[in-house]
Amino acid sequence: MDKPFRIMAATGTHRGDRDYQQDRVELLSHPRVIGCVLAIVADGMGGRSGGRKASDQVLMTASQLFERYDPRTDNTPVFLQNLVQEAHLVIRLTAISAEQEPHSTIAAFIINPEGDCHWIHAGDSRIYHFRRKKLLHRTRDHSYVQALVDRGELTEEQARDHPHSNILLGCLGMDADPPATCYSIPQLAVGETLLACSDGVWHYFTSKELAAATASLTPREASEYLIQEARERAEGGGDNLSLVVVRIEALVEERKAARFSGFEAKA
């Protein structure tokens, strides 16, 4: 970007109507590099303790690797692929000593100080890239119903209410390697927003609704609104919910500091 800008961000999480919380969400600021952030959503599966163990392992692995990450020298897509593989192996090792079979999705993105963004996902937790109220790109779920949509057998609307919408074709912790998919944005721009969320959130909204909410509200307001509205639309049958909203905003006053000079986290 030609002018400095800042990152405004918030996270949100709710147990929904489940007896326990298996989702994990985190927004990490790099310990040494200003303007470098990592966002992660992990939706754990495999019973009360199994699912939470899996999502905990994703967050722990991400935090440990991010501390060693250097955006000036490391290849970001390769770093994200290694993150997924290491988290997958740790979950598989956890399963050896557990009665459950822990699994987890992952949706993670890194924003580097120069404004480039890279993401990776496995499972049905999603990442959306909006420019104000316009959807630029989103992840495609590694799920049975997404495969039907891709083949033209279902519409996106039909897929949301399909009886097998919860069947995943791949995620972390399964016998096979996770089908992790990467995507890169060469340069983020002022007015653009990234939303990462579990299926407990996106299941109840169209892309247009998500774009409108993230464009018209602050990240904190958007996270609160989306969770509250999803809870109401679930009508007592909602899943765990987790999300992170990151918006690129212009600085009111240009400063000589780093290109990314503001960071607000945790709704």
d(CA 15, CA 241): 6
Region for 89 from its dihedrals, namely left if φ exceeds 0, alpha if ψ lies in -120 to 50, beta otherwise:
alpha
d(CA 106, CA 242): 12
Q: Half-sphere exposure (CA, 13 Å, Cβ side) for 238?
A: 27
Q: Average pLDDT of the chain?
A: 90
By the 8 A CB rule, do 170 and 179 touch? yes
pLDDT of residue 236: 93
Q: What is the mean pLDDT of the segment spanning 54-72?
A: 96
pLDDT of residue 161: 82
pLDDT of residue 247: 97
pLDDT of residue 151: 93
pLDDT of residue 96: 79
Residue 48 pLDDT grade (very low, low, confident, very high; cuts 50, 70, 90) = low
pLDDT of residue 260: 40
pLDDT of residue 200: 95
Taking 50 as the threshold, does the pLDDT of residue 214 lie above it?
A: yes
pLDDT tens per residue across span 144-193:
999 999 999 998 888 888 888 889 999 999 999 999 999 999 999 999 99
Taking 50 as the threshold, does the pLDDT of residue 213 lie above it?
A: yes
SS (H, E, C) 17-78: CCCCCCEEEEEEECCCCCCCEEEEEEEEECCHHHHHHHHHHHHHHHHHHHHHCCCCCCCHHH
pLDDT of residue 2: 57
Taking 70 as the threshold, does the pLDDT of residue 267 lie above it?
A: no
d(CA 38, CA 29): 7
pLDDT of residue 212: 97
Query: Whose CA is closest to 83, among 102, 95, 65?
Result: 65
pLDDT of residue 195: 98
pLDDT of residue 46: 78
Give the Cβ contact number of residue 235 at 10 Å: 8
pLDDT tens per residue across span 74-124:
999 999 999 999 999 999 998 877 667 899 999 999 999 999 999 999 999
